[in-house]
Amino acid sequence: MIKLISAIKNLVVGLITTGKHLGRHAVTVQYPTERWEMPERSRGIVVLLSDKETGALNCTTCLLCERACPTAAIKIVYDKDEKGKRILKDFIVDHGLCCFCGLCEEACNFAAIKMATKYEFSTFDKNDLVWHTDKLQEVGRDVPYEKPERKKPEVKPAAPKAAPKPAATANPSPVMQPSPAENKPGITDKIDPQEGK
């Protein structure tokens, strides 16, 4: 008898649960006409970012992203000028190989490459998934980004050699002094202030 009562109770509970869900609004979206607003940090297509004022690419052809890429989806073709500085000829991303891990974005020190929130890039031909500089730049034009302040890590390699003498002798503020000395590696201070918020 107790079994019967609890069975009936549970049947009613089930009906109430589905009844509640019947009243709720659908969680799905009518896809081609409506779209999800993707989260800011979701990883979609790889794009190249360009400077907002000049329109030139942020890429300095440092090849860090190419080395970071675990699936070898990134290929960078470059020349060297007379001073030995690399000049970007072609930046090739094969989206068919890309595994959307985001390591290239993390490796980049100049906010030149990013995984945008866009995700619609299917084609009928797999060769169309290989994107070159012009297309990567074009798609990346309206992608918002913040250019990180890279001054500190850039100055640092030079600082330990040149700075210690003036810092020990003639630094006016003692508060400022320990902060550059304490966070030595560039990675940690990259993670803390920006990713935390």
Partner 1 sequence: MELSGVFKYLYELLANSGLPPVWVDLISLIAAALIVFAFLAVTALFLVWWERKVSAHIQQRFGPMRTGWHGWLQTIIDMLKLIQKEDITPATADRPVFFWAPIIALTAAFAAYVVIPFGKGLIVSDLNIGVVFIIAITTFTIISLLMAGWGSNNKYALLGGMRSAAQVVSYEVPMVVAVLSIVVFAGSMSMMDIVNSQAKIYQWYIFRLPFGPIAFIIYLIAGTAETNRTPFDLPEAEQELVAGFNVEYSGMKFAMFFFAEFVNLFTVSAIATTLFLGGWQGPFLPSWVWFMGKTLFMVFILMWFRWTYPRLRVDQLMEFSWKFLLPVSFANLVLAGFMKYSKWFNW
Q: Which residues bind partner 1 (CB under 8 A)?
A: 11, 14-15, 17-19, 21-22, 24-28, 30
Q: Give least dist CB 36 to partner 1, A.
A: 15
Name the CA radius of gyration of the chain, rounded: 26
* Smallest separation (angstroms) from partner 1 to the CB of 28: 5
CA 37-39-41 angle, to 5 degrees, is 145
The smaller minimum CB distance to partner 1, of residues 25 and 151, is found at: 25
CB nearer partner 1, residue 9 or residue 150: 9
Outline where DSSP puts E strands in the chain: 46-48, 74-80, 86-94, 113-115, 130-131
CB of 119 to partner 1, least distance (A): 21
Shortest distance (Å) from residue 4 CB to partner 1 = 8
Distance CA 58, CA 131 (A): 17
* Residue pair 69/133 in contact by the 8 Å Cβ criterion: no
> Judged by CB, which is closer to partner 1: 14, or 193?
14
For partner 1, give the closer residue by CB, 26 or 168. Answer: 26
Is residue 43 classed as helix, strand or coil in its secondary structure?
coil
